[in-house]
Amino acid sequence: MVKIQTCKRHGVCNDCGKQQSNDTEIWEIKASTTGHGWTTIMLCRDCMLSLHTAIAAAQIN
- The residues binding Zn ion (CB under 5 A) are 13, 15-16, 18, 44, 47
CB of 20 to Zn ion, least distance (A): 11
**For residue 11, which of 23, 3, 19 has the smallest C-alpha distance?**
19
| Rg of the Cα atoms in the chain | 13
Q: Which is nearer to Zn ion, 25 or 30 (CB)?
A: 25
58-to-23, 25, 49, 55, 61 alpha-carbon distances in Å: 30, 26, 14, 5, 5
The least CB distance from residue 40 to Zn ion, in Å, is: 15
Minimum Å distance from CB 50 to Zn ion?
Answer: 8
Closer Cβ to Zn ion, 35 or 51, answer by number: 51
